[in-house]
Amino acid sequence: MQYFVSPTKGRLSLNQVFTDIMDYVHEDPECHYRLIVGTDSQIGADTCFVTAVVIHRVGRGARYYYARDHQRTERSLKQRIFYEASKSLELASQLAHKLSENGHSDLNIEIHLDVGENGRTKELIRDIIGMITGTGFEARIKPDAYGASKVADKHTR
């Protein structure tokens, strides 16, 4: 079973993360919220993949949760970026299912991708955005992809 870490609440299951997100939204239901999922990775002795979930109360703060996964499998940059996207997509799908079961299907999920117009990943942008938007989720790339490039990246080291 995959566990997440909340900087304030410690180790949580996905169900506990979902409950905490819903509690946060219900605290101030008049606010606008963005639910964000993003994954980043760092190569070391093994590859550390971190998937982050951010519930952003626009203009009024946010909460986040992250899960780490270490793998010894070597991947090319392209394989690693697509694997990051697939990890985010899998988690976003689980969250979307929970949202629809609980009457919150109006809360859209954004997937933040660790790709951008500058750098070695620019040739992957079109394909990876197509993969995400083809499943019905919104996709964001750098510099607007802070769920992956800032939050998840912070915990890969």
Q: What is the pLDDT of residues 98-147, one digit of tens each?
A: 999 999 988 999 999 999 999 999 999 999 999 999 999 999 999 999 99
DSSP for 110-154, please give it.
EEEEEEESSSTTGGGHHHHHHHHHTTT-EEEEETS-HIIIIIIHH
Sign of the four-CA dihedral 78, 122, 150, 33: negative
> What pLDDT shows up at residue 73?
83
Element (H, E) at 89: helix 77-101
> What pLDDT shows up at residue 75?
86
* Range in 18-22, 41-45, 111-115 with the lowest mean pLDDT: 41-45
The pLDDT of residue 1 is above 60 = no
Q: What is the pLDDT of residues 74-98, one digit of tens each?
A: 889 999 999 999 999 999 999 999 9
Do the Cβ atoms of 87 and 39 come closer than 8 Å?
yes
Which residue ranges make up each domain of the chain? 3-154
> What pLDDT shows up at residue 157?
83
| Architecture category of domain 3-154 in CATH | 2-Layer Sandwich (3.30)
